[in-house]
Amino acid sequence: MAESLQADRTGTLYVVATPIGNLADISARAIEVLGAVDRIVAEDTRHSRKLLQHYALQTPMTALHEHNERELAPQLVEQLLQGASLAVISDAGTPLISDPGYTLVRLARAAGVRVIPVPGPSALTCALSGSGLPTDRFVFEGFLPAKRTARRHRLQQLAGESRTLVFYESSHRILAALQDMQAAFGAGRRAVIARELTKQFETIRGDTLAALRQWVAADPDQQKGEFVVLVQGVEAPEGDTVTADAEQLLRWLLEELPIKKAAKLAARITGINKRTLYDRALQLKQPD
Ligand code: SAM
């Protein structure tokens, strides 16, 4: 009895998506939740105040960002356990998607607090849905490493990926990123740049990586704002795709056998091309 009373008194953590540019993109439910909770936990309170003012919301705010999340999250979970209801939001889009909130949600769930996501915009899904690239399977890579060597290494690792790749990029690295993508994936690989989505200068352009790089380099306006870069995956001929099951088998075999033998055996069991499995085995053996 005491336990159920305790459970009933526990507050709720709402994870609320907000617009990525166009303020009208907020959902009716998001506005309702933001107005009803005891406190909003925002990445940047000054930034979010504009959104709150726009919708005449007066809910108090607390800042939760990458520098204080580890320290603050346990205190917020304590407040939730004592019955407070909180809504976490980020500067734009869906919290936790390349944004703060992960530690808070993880701790809240571990403590038995109810977590309710309130869905809405994200640059990821917005860009994908308008890109014209395959969306049935995709890989979200978030931001690439800032340092060139690490960035090139990461892109190299992704060169054989058959799913659509999605990257976030900022204005000061867009050109360097496109250059490195061209080097890793080849000049002719198809890609889409989605810039300033939902805003006044929204631009969505698809072409080869070489053509896109040239186009961005030639026009300083195309280097401004926020970017999602989507790259089409490698089109693998039949029998040349390493399925998830085949990859797991390969991993197990690699624990016991040298690369060549593991690839040969995996090819015999799965019917997948031996060379493809050998290349995948080499990648799996490579230290990150
Ligand atoms: N949580 C956000 C989401 O759900 O999309 C992403 C936050 S992340 C810190 C910011 C990055 O998202 C930007 O650097 C850019 O790559 C991408 N982004 C955010 N808003 C965008 C927009 N309106 N147009 C294009 N990209 C955007």
3-state secondary structure 77-98: HHHHHCCCCEEEECCCECCCCC
**In contact, 14 and 85? CB cutoff 8 Å:** yes
User: What's domain 2-121's superfamily in CATH?
Assistant: Tetrapyrrole methylase, N-terminal domain (3.40.1010.10)
C-alpha dihedral (264, 269, 275, 279), degrees to nearest 10: -90
Is the CB–ligand 1 distance for residue 246 below 6 Å? no
Atom of ligand 1 nearest to the CA of 168: 16
* Crossing angle between the packed helical segments 102-110 and 69-81, to the nearest 10 degrees: 40
40 has which bridge partners?
61, 87
Q: Could you tell me the residue ranges of all domains in the chain? A: 2-121, 124-231, 244-285
Residue with CA at minimum distance from ligand 1 atom 11: 168
Instruction: Give the amino acid at 246.
Output: A
Ranges of beta strands (E only) in the chain are: 12-16, 39-42, 61-63, 86-89, 114-118, 138-143, 164-170, 190-195, 203-208, 226-231
In three-state secondary structure terms, 193 is: strand
Atom of ligand 1 nearest to the CA of 195: 25
Is the CB–ligand 1 distance for residue 123 below 6 Å? yes
Give the distance (Å) from ligand 1 centre to CA of residue 226. 6
Residue with CA at minimum distance from ligand 1 atom 20: 20
3-state SS of the chain: helix, strand, coil percent to 5?
45, 20, 35
Mark 131-166 as b/e (b = at least 16 C-beta within 10 Å): bebeeeebebbeebeeeeeebbebbeebebbbbbbb
Give the distance (Å) from ligand 1 centre to CA of residue 113. 28
Is the CB–ligand 1 distance for residue 199 below 6 Å? yes
Is the CB–ligand 1 distance for residue 198 below 6 Å? yes
CA neighbor of 48 nearest in space, from 97, 87, 80 = 87
pLDDT in tens, 109-143: 999 999 999 999 999 999 999 999 999 999 999 99
State residue 2's pLDDT score: 40
Is the CB–ligand 1 distance for residue 254 below 6 Å? no
pLDDT in tens, 266-283: 999 998 999 999 988 998
Average pLDDT, stretch 72-99? 98
203 has which bridge partners?
195
Residue with CA at minimum distance from ligand 1 atom 2: 93
* d(C-alpha 222, C-alpha 287), whole Å: 36
State residue 244's pLDDT score: 83
Model confidence at 175: pLDDT above 80: yes
State residue 164's pLDDT score: 98
Average pLDDT, stretch 180-186? 97
Rounded to 5 degrees, what are φ and ψ at 112?
85, 15
Is the CB–ligand 1 distance for residue 21 below 6 Å? yes
Residue with CA at minimum distance from ligand 1 atom 8: 98
| DSSP state letter for 197 | T
* d(C-alpha 267, C-alpha 160), whole Å: 18
pLDDT averaged over the chain?
94
Model confidence at 235: pLDDT above 90: no
Model confidence at 4: pLDDT above 60: no
State residue 240's pLDDT score: 76
- The CATH architecture assigned to 124-231 reads 2-Layer Sandwich (3.30)
CA neighbor of 44 nearest in space, from 20, 66, 77, 75 = 66
State residue 142's pLDDT score: 98
Is the CB–ligand 1 distance for residue 124 below 6 Å? yes
Average pLDDT, stretch 45-55? 96
In three-state secondary structure terms, 246 is: helix
State residue 238's pLDDT score: 66
Q: Is 171 left (phi over 0), alpha (psi -120 to 50) or beta?
A: alpha
Measuring CA to CA, how many Å separate 89 from each of 14, 27, 44, 147?
A: 9, 13, 9, 29
pTM: 0.83
State residue 288's pLDDT score: 57
State residue 20's pLDDT score: 98
